[in-house]
Amino acid sequence: MNQAVVSNISQEELNKSVEIIGKLRNYYSEKIVGQQNLGVSLLTCLMANGHILLESVPGLAKTTAAKVMTDALAGTFSRIQCTPDLLPSDIIGTQIFNYTNNTFETKIGPVYANFVLLDEINRSSAKTQSAMLEAMQERQITIGGEIYPLPNVFIVIATQNPIEQEGTYVLAEAQLDRFLLKEKVEYPSAEEEVEILNRIEQNVFTKTDSILQEEDMTFLQEMTKKVYVDDSIKKYIASIVLATRYPHRYIASNLADYINLGASTRATIAFMECSKAIALINGRPYVTPDDIKYLRYTVLRHRISLNFSALADNVSVEQIIDAIVGAIPTP
């Protein structure tokens, strides 16, 4: 790659970005044991100004990780427990009639926060799930015909349990596509489990003073936009996404037959925006092919739809993704 072209970010801006990222990652590591992939994905979504879907069984620090990021940035945090009887107005807000002055007053819902945790999103009805679409996509909510812009730093962290399916509503493809990334949170190792117990005894999870302000995060988002992406990298991204739509052209038929639906253009955009964040996290003002490969699972796993044959044959979407990315020449 021609280094002379990579000049969108000054050295001073790069140093400041690295400093802010370092503070956030250190703060996260002090509070959370392990779960480094989760930390990087949360930071990536913050920098790329997107939303994230987390899949795991309960009790693996998803809520704690979200609150840690909130505390680090002196932000506001809302936790919404999704249930079948949850109404859109419970999330967005509503108008309440005030009998004292005979007027309607607007009550904004918990969605108006920097960090919004939608716990077990697949337990809410499709109508309630769709209520988040405007907030996630347009970054605004509408109550009684009035539009209320959401905060500049706004990230939705939705969780779903892959084990329990009773009483759940499967997220539609259009809803899944709104999430920039999907991360799977795994169990900690035995050593990490012991460290968790030690930190609980030491009371390290107690809230401490914030280390950054919202302006720092806004600066980081602006720097992320300025990260250089070469045309060869853009073609590499487009080729990977195209291969998910026409898999028989790129991978073996026995694997291609498992794909029901490929990724949309949002996957292409997500690859570019998130790879910029990954590059900056690694201290570079330009994107490399390795940044794209690092993101392959989190960007594509919720955008490639597999058929029932894949489930019956125990074929994971990660296997399909590896085959597709491996079939595309690296620039």
Whether 123 is covered by a domain: the verdict is yes
Per-residue pLDDT, 65: 83
Assess whether 173 and 81 both reside in one domain.
yes
Assess whether 167 and 236 both reside in one domain.
no
**How far apart, in whole angstroms, are the C-alpha atoms of residue 122 and residue 166?**
10
270: domain CATH number? 1.10.8.80
Per-residue pLDDT, 219: 92
Q: Which residues contact 219 (CB under 8 A, 6 or more apart)?
A: 16, 17, 20
Whether 26 is covered by a domain: the verdict is no
Whether 17 is covered by a domain: the verdict is no
Average pLDDT (144-171) is 77
Whether 14 is covered by a domain: the verdict is no
Assess whether 168 and 273 both reside in one domain.
no
Closest CA to 141 of 116, 109, 105: 109
Asked if pLDDT for residue 298 goes beyond 90, the answer is: yes
Assess whether 238 and 182 both reside in one domain.
no
Weakest mean pLDDT among 129-133, 158-162, 218-222, 243-247: 129-133
Asked if pLDDT for residue 3 goes beyond 50, the answer is: no
Assess whether 61 and 156 both reside in one domain.
yes
> Which tens digit of pLDDT belongs to each residue from 228-258?
999 999 999 999 999 999 999 999 999 999 9
Map residue 115 onto helix, strand or coil.
Answer: strand
Assess whether 176 and 248 both reside in one domain.
no
Boundary of a domain, candidates 169, 200, 223:
223
Q: What confidence category does residue 328 fall into, taking pLDDT thresholds of 50, 70 and 90?
A: very high
**How far apart, in whole angstroms, are the C-alpha atoms of residue 170 and residue 126?**
8
Pairing between β-strand 103-108 and β-strand 93-98 as defined by DSSP bridges? antiparallel
Whether 261 is covered by a domain: the verdict is yes
Average pLDDT (199-218) is 78
Boundary of a domain, candidates 195, 223, 251:
223
Assess whether 262 and 308 both reside in one domain.
yes
Boundary of a domain, candidates 176, 201, 223:
223
Assess whether 249 and 217 both reside in one domain.
no
* Higher-confidence position of 98 and 38: 38
Map residue 313 onto helix, strand or coil.
Answer: coil
Number of domains in the chain: 2
Whether 236 is covered by a domain: the verdict is yes
Domain that holds residue 298: 227-331
Buried b (16+ CB within 10 A) or exposed e, 292-329: bbbbbbbbbbbbbbbeeebeeeebebeebbbbbbebbe
Contact 266/283 with Cβ under 8 angstroms? no
Q: At what angle do helices 11-31 and 36-48 cross, to 10 degrees?
A: 140
Assess whether 240 and 309 both reside in one domain.
yes
Whether 5 is covered by a domain: the verdict is no
Assess whether 178 and 237 both reside in one domain.
no
**What tokens does 207 get?**
């809230």
Asked if pLDDT for residue 297 goes beyond 90, the answer is: yes
Per-residue pLDDT, 168: 61
Whether 110 is covered by a domain: the verdict is yes
77: domain CATH number? 3.40.50.300
Assess whether 89 and 50 both reside in one domain.
yes
Per-residue pLDDT, 6: 54
- Range with the largest mean pLDDT of 7-21, 102-116, 255-269: 255-269
Assess whether 86 and 131 both reside in one domain.
yes
Asked if pLDDT for residue 210 goes beyond 80, the answer is: no
